[in-house]
Amino acid sequence: MKVFITGDYCPINRADLSLDTSKKILKDDFKVLLNEADFRLTNLECPLTSHDNAIIKSGPSLKADPINILFLKENKFDIVTLANNHIMDYGSAGLKETLIHLDDNNIEYVGAGKINTERDIIYKIKNDVKLAIINVCENEWSTKNREGFKASGFSEMDMFYLISKAKRKADKVIVIHHGGHEMYNLPSPRLKKTFRYFIDCGADAVVNHHTHCIGGEEVYKNAPIFYSLGNFIFDNPKQRNTIWNYGMAVTLSISKEKITYKKHYFEQFNRDAVIQDIDERNLPYNIENLNRIIKNDSTLNEKFDDFVNRKQALYNAYIEPVKSRYILGLINKGFLPSFWNKRKKIILSNLISCESHREILSNILNRKID
């Protein structure tokens, strides 16, 4: 069984087919890779909906025209993963419309849906090999129950039971996870431990996306871990000639005995509004250097400390409250409004709920205490 997996698909701006339905985004060499696979997966990073009522959140609310389902169908994508931080940006209405479009076009999905259904795992069979695909994301906006619908968040305890359940039913188990730190091409120490824990629980491969850049990889207990595939199709006018514009896809060759893999690098929506294959040597950074850092816990910790340093001013702005006990007393008695207005409370809620944000916040606060 060959499974082809890409990162974030968000068909907005120049990638939006509603602007030009004849647009050719994929070049022939990329289509060859798709045709060679038995199953093709991408992460649908936004709802395909005409609804206009976005949820209240911090950060952008993303959606795309439903006509973009044509890209998925024409390029033979069999499955989309939906567990990500944007799939519920337009609430249950946006997700439900997305599911209708997927159903109508015979595209399967995993990672979001109706509560009390098995939305976080899907099984596929080919050549007598049964594969379980688990899809979860960090606990940001999409994992909140909205009128009976949500994306599949995760906890370490839940993942133990979920992977164990999949392992009893399938020959091999892949975990596709959405999370990590945006525009940071290494896993945090926490994320490395978490993905290795998934393998310890019985997963045979772990694939991650969300960071908008390619991360490194490692093989742990004979199981590959890809720390980030980067973007697949995600046109951002503010990002040109940056790590945002380079992505990776992987082909997993799966038998009952083992999983092997092949990586495919490409440039996406940079100067030209296309996906084109590139050699690893043309990437903006050295993947092997990233892999060496991942192997060394001490170096990995140092790199993450540097990343936290770069984020400290931003997070300080998020959390800095008033210090005067007199002003606090007036606020508590209702004579002054809280300095944490509704928007600030929304931001703070997300910093606490999301594992990656909480990780940075904890590091910063511990430094202040020390």
Give the model confidence (pLDDT) of 204-228 as tens digits: 999 999 999 999 999 999 999 999 9
- Find the mean pLDDT for residues 336-360: 87
Residue 353: predicted pLDDT:
93
Residue whose pair of structure tokens reads 């001013």 in the numeric block: 313
Identity of residue 210 = H
- Find the mean pLDDT for residues 346-357: 92
Ordered by where they begin, the domains of the chain are 2-294 (3.60.21.10), 300-367 (no CATH)
CA angle 331/58/341 to nearest 5° reads: 10
Backbone angles phi, psi at 176, to 5 degrees: -105, 115
Q: How far apart are CA 267 and CA 243, in angstroms?
A: 10
Beta carbons of 24 and 74 less than 8 angstroms apart: no
Backbone angles phi, psi at 265, to 5 degrees: -100, 150
Q: How far apart are CA 107 and CA 82, in angstroms?
A: 12
The residue with greater pLDDT, 161 or 333, is 161
Beta carbons of 42 and 91 less than 8 angstroms apart: no
Residue 322: pLDDT band by 50, 70, 90 thresholds?
Answer: low
Residue 86: predicted pLDDT:
98
- Find the mean pLDDT for residues 282-307: 97
Q: What is the DSSP string of 251-276?
A: EEEE-SS-EEEEEEEEEESSSSSSEE
Q: How far apart are CA 249 and CA 245, in angstroms?
A: 14
Exposed, middle or buried: residue 104 (CB in 10 Å: 0-12, 13-18, 19+)? Answer: exposed
Residue 329: predicted pLDDT:
79
Residue 323: pLDDT band by 50, 70, 90 thresholds?
Answer: low
pLDDT at 183 over 90: yes
Global pTM value: 0.93
